[in-house]
Structure 1
Amino acid sequence: MKDTSHPPIGDTLFGEITVRQDGQERLEVEGEGIPRVAIERDLESEVDPQTAIGTRDPSFLAMTIDGREVVLKPAKGRFARRSYRVDVEYDGARYCLVPDSVPSSRLTRDGTHLGDFMSDGDEIVIAEWLPDVDIRPADAAVGYALASAFGTGGQPMWMMLVDGVSAALPS
């Protein structure tokens, strides 16, 4: 994997975290206090230029946490914000990263809101953890990986409809 041009991210709970992308083929997240995560895209898949990891098709993606394969289920990404959610099952927990505003996505573990992530689908990821919530090292590892691989945020459906109608009108 190529050496990242970005310095490690300073997470408020887990210290330095490094996010590295190798084009749209592979992504790694690691840090002293978190488990290592890798997401890889099968090179036989068609590349989606809108998705950092290159596809939202789960049959062409593999995710490991500390070397253990986990279930990764990105939704298709259509019109509604919720259609851009990404689900992961790891160590008996179900994680979900789902857009909740234009720039950010909410990370939940078993339905509990843990924090919000912001990323353009690159190696720069910002995490804002909620106070008074039990945040685990795996939470950070999963959140940073999903935010980097799939990006965060999304327009509400009404804004997308207005944009679509505006684009269809003659100039």
Structure 2
Amino acid sequence: MNDRDRAPIDDTRFGAITVRQDGQDRIEVHGEAVPRVTLERDPAAEADPQIAIGTRDRSHLTMRVDGAEVDLLPAKGRLARHSYRVDVEYDGASYRLVPDSVPSSRLTRDGTHLGDFSSDGDETVIAEWREDRELRPADAAIGYALASAFGTGAQPMWMMIADGVSSALP
């Protein structure tokens, strides 16, 4: 499927945004009002089927915003929601996408809550922006890319422990 066949997402603040995944190797986000973001996994790295981009190992990932490589740091993803956070440094700002409910994750820039993203780790990403925030085009592009690459949301730790205990019982 090429970009002409793919319906762009209609973002409430930034208009049409296209999210495109090439298997688990590459994710690209672009639109008229946002910078182009690419996130690529080293093809030699083994792909984890649970992660859209195939890995949370930063040494196997390269992220670029408008062609400039950025510092990407996905956490390991263990029991706590916070362990699924993904941090990005771009243009003097610190971005973080971190799960805050079962279906969604909160995007912050320098600690300020910008909005919430929902995605199953595919090309369908929903952004709900805070109305009282000044947003930058890079906020949207980075948020869409991270939500698509790593998915959003996570169960609370107590729910994961309860699931583990109940599945271990006869």
Structure 2: which amino acid aligns with 1:109?
A: R
Query: Which letter does structure 1 place at the counterpart of 2:154?
Result: G
| Aligned position for 1:86 | 86
- Report the counterpart of residue 69 of structure 2 in structure 1: 69
The aligned runs of 1:113-132 (5 Å cut-off) are 113-132=113-132
Please give the alpha-carbon distance, in whole angstroms, between the structure 2 residues aligned to 1:159 and 1:39: 31
Gaps of 5+ in 1: none
Instruction: Return structure 1 stretches of 4+ with deviation > 2 angstroms.
Output: none
Q: Secondary structure, in 3 states, of the residue corresponding to 1:17?
A: strand
Kept after mapping to 2: 8 A contact 1:6/1:123: no
Aligned to 1:43: 43
Give distance in 2, aligned partners of 1:43 and 1:30: 22
**Where does 1:17-166 land on structure 2 (aligned, <5 Å)?**
17-166=17-166
Q: What letter corresponds to residue 3 of structure 1 in structure 2?
A: N
C-alpha displacement of 1:6: 3.7
Q: Is the 8 A contact 1:6 1:124 kept in 2?
A: no
TM-score normalised according to structure 2 size? 0.98
Structure 1 CA distance, aligned partners of 2:61 and 2:2? 22
Task: Flag structure 2 segments of 5+ consecutive residues without an equivalent.
Answer: none
Deviations 1:126-149 (A, max 9, x none): 000001101110000000000000
**Counterpart Cα distance in 1 of 2:132 and 2:113:** 11
- State TM-score, norm by structure 1: 0.97
Distance 1:159 1:87 in 2: 25
Amino acid at match of 1:52: A
Percent pairwise identity? 73
Specify the SS of the correspondent of 1:46.
coil
2:33 alignment partner AA: G
Q: Do the aligned partners of 1:29 and 1:141 also contact (CA within 8 Å) in 2?
A: yes
* Distance across 1 between alignment mates of 2:34 and 2:141: 6
Distance, in Å, in 2 between the alignment partners of 1:45 and 1:56 is 11
Counterpart residue identity of residue 147, structure 2: A
Q: How many residues matched? A: 169
